[in-house]
Structure 1
Amino acid sequence: MGFELDRFKGTVDPDFKCNLCNKVLEDPLTTPCGHVFCSGCVLPWVVQQNSCPVKCQRISAKELNHVLPLRNLILKLEIKCDNHARGCDAVVTLQHLAEHAETCDFSPAKCGNRGCEEVVSARDLDAHMREACEHRAAGICEGGCGLTLTLREQKSSGHCCKHADIKKFQVFQLDFKFLRWFFSCVETDLFPKLQRKLYFAS
């Protein structure tokens, strides 16, 4: 699909341009008639049209060939980092562009905190997750569930502690069962035994 011309340092030789996208050639392929295109540009065209994009003759995808000498020359061109718009000022040769991108401090990185869709530069990711992100862990729920709360939940009181409600309901059930058992004892001959147990327990 080619590389944008304004990313390169200095003037780019017109012979390095793709005749389809008009960008600097990326993985150049040549047709039997001598025209050169990016592989990503010419392959779909030939598969669909069965002809050279210049429409000078009919060809098949099998007739396209890599132009290694031209490719090697292009790889020596100096190009701005993919993250130039994000603040990276690095200029590297095209052959080292991918290698630089892997370690570039300005590469886009998505926040790892659950619920956060923020994308920041790789160098700012750690600080964002620990200090700026509203979805970072900020405390423990005191309502009874013990879940970790995010800063946003703390600020907005948006945590619905269902676990706490369930716990209260379970306690209520236990109390109700005890009372039902207690009154059943009162109505039977077990009540004297219960009285003795309560007396000694106290």
Structure 2
Amino acid sequence: MGERISGGYDLNLFVSPPDCALLCSVCHGVLKRPVKLPCGHIFCKKCILTWLARQKTCPCCRKEVKRRLMVQVHKLRKTIGRLQVKCKNSQAGCCVTCPLSQHRIHLDSCPFEFTPCPNAGCMARVQRAALAEHDRSCGHRQQQHCPLGCGATLTAVERENHNCYQELREARGRRRAQGRALDSVLRHRRRRIHRATGLTRRQLIQLETFLEEEEEEGMDVSNINTEAPRAAM
């Protein structure tokens, strides 16, 4: 068969040795996502696709294979899903057995499963049962205020190299920079307000002048109309 392709389930995972009819002849593991070829032979989906990428024939009978004619064997997949398996952490001490289809669900709560530390920045992976103990001593567990009172919030790792004087200096520098930025924004807004106020004042003056001129023109027209009849007499 050449180089072995790993696509099926490891035989050591099962409580009892599986029937030979449930084995993939490519990887020799228990069929995972089984598919049947037109010739009737069944393989793990991953195994046969990897095989066909190199050769276009059935690994067993060497008949030509067209990928579009492969079919998934759902009934066989359900049968395999009912097989009893051991927890993959059995060598670490887990004694649980369950149907293969429930194996992933069990691992999500298995106390022997290695899980990453939930604290940001911590790269440790510990067994779920020991996670609480690890968390109590984890250098990234949580941030606390500096015991010297500088106001900084630090993790246990950061506290080891913490310098209050430097922290206060940097904090002061940040506040000054923020103050300068705020002052610049306020000055810019003040200039805009002054410009808007000046424009409004000029427009009001123009409007007042316009109204006064209109009023004077109206009075002139009224005087002309009054003097005209007198001239006629």
| 1:159 equivalent among 143, 159, 162 | 162
Query: Partners of 1:103 and 1:70 in 2: how far apart?
Result: 28
Larger Rg: 2
Counterparts in 2 of 1:71 and 1:114: CA distance versus 1, 3 Å: closer
Where does residue 62 of structure 1 map in the other structure? 68
Unpaired runs of at least 5, structure 1: 172-202
> What is the identity percentage for the equivalent residue pairs of Structure 1 and Structure 2?
33
Structure with greater helix share of residues: 2
Taking only aligned residues, the RMSD between alpha carbons, in angstroms, comes to: 2.8
Runs of 4+ aligned structure 1 residues displaced above 4 Å come to 142-145, 167-171
Query: Partners of 1:170 and 1:25 in 2: how far apart?
Result: 62
Superposed CA deviations along residues 36-69 of structure 1, whole A, max 9, x for unmatched, are 1111211233245332233612212211112233
Tell me the CA shift for residue 76 of structure 1. 1.8
Tell me the CA shift for residue 168 of structure 1. 6.2
Aligned-partner residue type, residue 146 of structure 2: C
Where does residue 96 of structure 2 map in the other structure? 90
Report how many residues are paired: 169
Where does residue 79 of structure 2 map in the other structure? 73
Where does residue 3 of structure 2 map in the other structure? none
Query: Partners of 1:51 and 1:115 in 2: how far apart?
Result: 50
Query: Partners of 1:9 and 1:38 in 2: how far apart?
Result: 21
Aligned-partner residue type, residue 23 of structure 1: G
1:10 and 2:13 are equivalent in the alignment:
no
Where does residue 108 of structure 2 map in the other structure? 102
Query: Partners of 1:169 and 1:73 in 2: how far apart?
Result: 69
Where does residue 42 of structure 2 map in the other structure? 36
Query: Partners of 2:146 and 2:35 in 1: how far apart?
Result: 62
**TM-score calculated relative to the size of structure 2:** 0.62
Aligned-partner residue type, residue 107 of structure 1: E
**1:79 is paired with a residue of what secondary structure?**
strand
Counterparts in 2 of 1:168 and 1:77: CA distance versus 1, 3 Å: closer
